[in-house]
Amino acid sequence: MIRRWILYPLLALFGVAAMAVAMLAIVLVLTYPNLPSLEILTDYRPKIPLRVYTADKHLIGEFGEERRVMVRFDEVPAMLKQAILAAEDDRFYQHWGVDIQGVVRATLNNLFGGGRRQGASTITQQVARNFFLSSEQTYWRKLHEALLSFKIEHNLTKDQIFELYINQIYLGQRAYGFAVAAQTYFGKPLQELNVAEAAMLAGLPKAPSAFNPVVNPKRARLRQQYVLRRMNLLGFIDARQYEAALEQPLVIRRETGDYAVHAEYVAEMARQIAAERFPEEVYSRGLSVFTTITLADQEAAYASLRRNVLDYDRRHGYRGAEAYADLSEIGSEQDEALDELLQDYHDSEDLRPAVVLQADAKQIRAYRRGGEIVTIKGDGLKFAARMIDDKAPPNKRLRRGAIIRVQKDDKDNWRVTQMPEVEAAFLSVDPQNGAIRSLVGGFDFARNKFNHATQAWRQPGSSFKPFIYSGALEKGFTPLSVVEDEPISIPASVTGSQAWEPKNYDGKYEGPMRLRTALAKSKNMVSIRLLQASGVHFIQDYITRFGFDAEKHPAYLTMALGAGSVTPWQMVTAYSVFANGGYKIQPFIVSQIRDEKNQIIAEAQPTPAGDESLLAIDPRNAYLMDSMLRDVTLYGTAARASATLKRRDLEGKTGTTNEHVDAWFCGYQRTVAGCSWIGFDQPKNMGNGETGTSAALPAWIGYMSKALRNVPQSFMPVPDGLVAVDIPDPEKGPSREYFYQENVPPPDGPEPAPPPYEDMRSFSPG
C-alpha cells in the first residue's frame, strides 16, 4: 500500500516531466529552424556615424545617433577583457551560450536569498538580445534568447562573439562599444586605460544610466569597486594591484562633446555639406569628411580669438552674478545637490561655473562641479570687487548662492571671471588656392551656434576702403594722387532728407593728401571724394570682382565709409585678391569625403594658381594696393602688427563703424590671409576707443604669430606694365613709387589730373 502511495505520484511526476520534455522538444524542433539568420553577425555592419577631420587627420566632430569606433579583438587590452569577464560573464569560455551553473545560482538566490534579484545573462545572450531581440521580460523571449545563443556559439568562435560584444554594447552618453566609451569618459584610447578605468567601463553594461560616472558618480564608483573585487577574486589582478586601483583617482570628462581640436563651427559646416551631398544614410554609413583646416592653425585662431574677447570683456568691467541658486536645503558642502544645481551651466573651456558658498571682501569660497571647493582671494577678487560690496545691486551682488565663473590665472590661482556678452569671428585662408586654414565662428559654440564667420552680415567700416581705392586706380588715380582731406557738408536739399556731414574718426583734417598717406591714416574725407570722383555706380559694379554683392552696397557716397553689408568670409575672400596678385578665389572648407571603405566619393577642386580666366583685377592694381596696404601696417592704423610680429611683409586694413558697433582687421601675408571681427549680436556701442586697432587687430596678430612662425618674409614681384619712379619726399626723403606705364608723370612735373568729380546730386545717404 505504501509502495503504491509512493509509486503513483512518482509515475505522475515522471509523466508530467516526459510531457514537458516532449513539448520542449517539439518547440525546439519548430522554433530553431525559424530563428533569424546570423548574417547580421557574420557580416557585421554597424551604424557608423559621420566623422569630420582636420586636414592632418584629427577628429573634430561626430554626427549620428550612435557614437561608435570599431576595434579588432586583438587591439583590446587583455586587462579590459578580464574586467568585462569579471563583471559580466567569468565562465564565458566554458559555457555553450547559456551558463547553466549561473542560471541555477541565480534561481536559488532569487528564491531564498531575500535580496535583490539576480540575472544570469551571458555575453553571448547579450549579443543575441542586442542584435535580434527586444528587452521585454517574457518566457518566450527568454527561450528565443537561449536558442539564439546556442546558434551563435555554434557558428562563431568565442573571440568573434566577444569582439561583437565589445563593439556593440551601449555604455551611456551615446557611446556604443568600449572604444568610444574610453574616449567619452576618459578622453583616451583603449590601450591607455589603467585598471581602475577599465573596471569603471566594465561596470557600465549592467545599467548604463544608473552607473554613468558623469551623472551618478557615487553609484558608478560602487559598481567599479565591485568589478575590482571580482577581478581580484578571479585572479586577474593581485592584492597590490587591487588596492592601487581602489586608490587611483579617476578624472571623468564631463564635457563629452569636446575633441582634441576646437573646431565646432567647422565640423557643423562639414556636416551640412555632407548631408546636402549624400542625404541618404549620411549619419550611419560611416562617411569621413576631411576639412582643409589644420590642428596648428585652428588652435592658434581659437586661442587668439578667445584671448582677445576676454581682454575686451575685462576692459569693460564685471557685470555681476550669472544667476542665483537656492542653497537653503543643501546639507553639506559636498552635497550632490550642488552638482545638480550646476548641471545647466556648461564649462566654456577654462571658464568654469561655480556656486558661491560664502563671500566677503577678503575671499570667496565656491563649489565647482565634481566636488572641488575653490577659494578666491587677493588679485583673484579684483575684477569682481565692486560686486562683493553691500552697495552692489542686489540682483548682481556676489553672495551665497550666486552662480559665477572661475578661471586659473598664470600662477595657477583661481580668479573670478565671466562669460563675455560680445561675439567675435576669425578665419584664415590660403590666398593662392582658397583652402580655409582656420575658422572660429564665435566665442563658444555650445552657447551660440550662429556662425559669425559665414552668416553675420555687418558693416565693414574702413576695412572696405581698399576696394574703393582699387577702383580709383582703375580710373586713373595713383598712390601719389592728391585729394583734399577737408570737411564735407551735403545739404538736405541734395540728400532729400537731412544734411550729411561726415567726419574723420579723430576729428582732424590735414588738407591736401596723397592717397598712400590717406589710406594709412584711414581718412574718411579722402575716401568719400575718391568714391565720388571714381563714380559710385562704377565702384558698385567694380567691387563684385572681389566677391561682394552689389545690392548689399547701395550706390551712395556712404559706401566710401563701409556702410554696406559683408560677412567675414567675403572679406577674407576679397583681401586674398590683393594677396595673390589679382586672382579671385573660391574658398572651400571640405577637401574630401570618403566612404566606409575609405574610397574618395567627393573631392574639392581648388582654385588653380595663375588661371587667367580667374583674374579679377589688373595685377598692377594688386601690386600697388599691396604696397599701400603694407604702409597701413608699417606707419598707419595697424602699425602695431609689424611692430609686434617684427615683419615688414604684412598688409591689411583696420575698420571701425559708426558708434563703435563693429571692429575689423583684415590683412594678409602672401601665404595666408585672415579676417578678425568683433561686435555684439544685437548691434550696440562697444565703447569709446574700441576700434579695429584695439578690438580686432590683436586677434589677427595672435593668430599670425603662430601661422607665420618660421615662414620667411616675402614680397610680391613687380608685374609687367609698371614703371618705377624715384619721388622726393620732404618728410621721409626720396622714395620709389610705381605707376601704370600709361600714367607715368613727366619728369619733375605734376601727376596726371584725376577724372572730374561726379555731380553731388547723385548722392543719397541711404
Residues 508-553: pLDDT tens digits? Answer: 999 999 999 999 999 999 999 999 999 999 999 999 999 999 999 9
- One-letter amino acid at 644 equals T
pLDDT (tens digit per residue) in 711-758: 999 999 999 999 999 887 666 667 889 999 988 877 655 454 444 444
Exposed/middle/buried for residue 736 (C-beta within 10 Å: 0-12, 13-18, 19+)? exposed
Cα–Cα distance, 425 to 443 (Å, whole number): 8
pLDDT at position 552 is 97
Contact (Cβ atoms closer than 8 angstroms) between residue 682 and residue 730: no
pLDDT (tens digit per residue) in 98-113: 877 766 665 556 555 5
pLDDT at position 764 is 35
pLDDT (tens digit per residue) in 299-345: 999 999 999 999 999 999 999 999 999 988 876 666 677 888 888 89
CA distances from residue 80 to 38, 198, 532 in whole angstroms, order as listed: 27, 5, 75
pLDDT tier for residue 174 given thresholds of 50, 70 and 90 = confident
88 flagged as catalytic: yes
Cα–Cα distance, 628 to 522 (Å, whole number): 12
pLDDT at position 608 is 76
Cα–Cα distance, 697 to 655 (Å, whole number): 10
Domain 323-417 CATH assignment equals 2.20.25.650 = no
Contacts of 596 (CB under 8 A, 6+ apart): 48, 285, 286, 287
Mean pLDDT score, 345-367? 93
Cα–Cα distance, 587 to 605 (Å, whole number): 10
Cα–Cα distance, 118 to 103 (Å, whole number): 9
Listing DSSP states for 194-218 in one string gives -HHHHHHHHTSTT-TTTT-TTT-HH
pLDDT at position 133 is 62
522 flagged as catalytic: no
End-to-end CA distance of the chain: give it in Å, rounded. Answer: 118
Q: Which cell is 545 given?
A: 570682382
pLDDT at position 43 is 62
Contact (Cβ atoms closer than 8 angstroms) between residue 247 and residue 227: no
Q: What percent of the chain has pLDDT above 70?
A: 85
pLDDT at position 758 is 41
- pLDDT at residue 437 above 60? yes
Contact (Cβ atoms closer than 8 angstroms) between residue 177 and residue 56: no
- Exposure string of 130-167, with b = 16+ CB inside 10 Å and e = fewer, is bbbeeeeeeeeebebbbbbbbbbbeebeeebbbbbbbb
Give the CATH fold of the 66-247 domain.
Penicillin binding protein transpeptidase fold (1.10.3810)
Contact (Cβ atoms closer than 8 angstroms) between residue 61 and residue 263: yes
Cα–Cα distance, 42 to 45 (Å, whole number): 9
Catalytic residue chosen out of the listed positions 288, 304, 438, 462 = 462
The CA R_g of the chain, rounded to the nearest whole Å, is: 35
Contacts of 100 (CB under 8 A, 6+ apart): none
Catalytic residue chosen out of the listed positions 62, 66, 88, 423 = 88
Contact (Cβ atoms closer than 8 angstroms) between residue 655 and residue 562: yes
Mean pLDDT score, 199-226? 90
What are the residue ranges spanned by the domains of the chain? 1-34, 66-247, 323-417, 459-565+720-766
Q: What is the largest CA-CA distance in the chain?
A: 145
Q: Which cell is 512 given?
A: 591736401
CATH hierarchy code of domain 459-565+720-766:
3.40.710.10
Contacts of 412 (CB under 8 A, 6+ apart): none
pLDDT tier for residue 354 given thresholds of 50, 70 and 90 = very high
DSSP-derived secondary structure letter, 512:
E
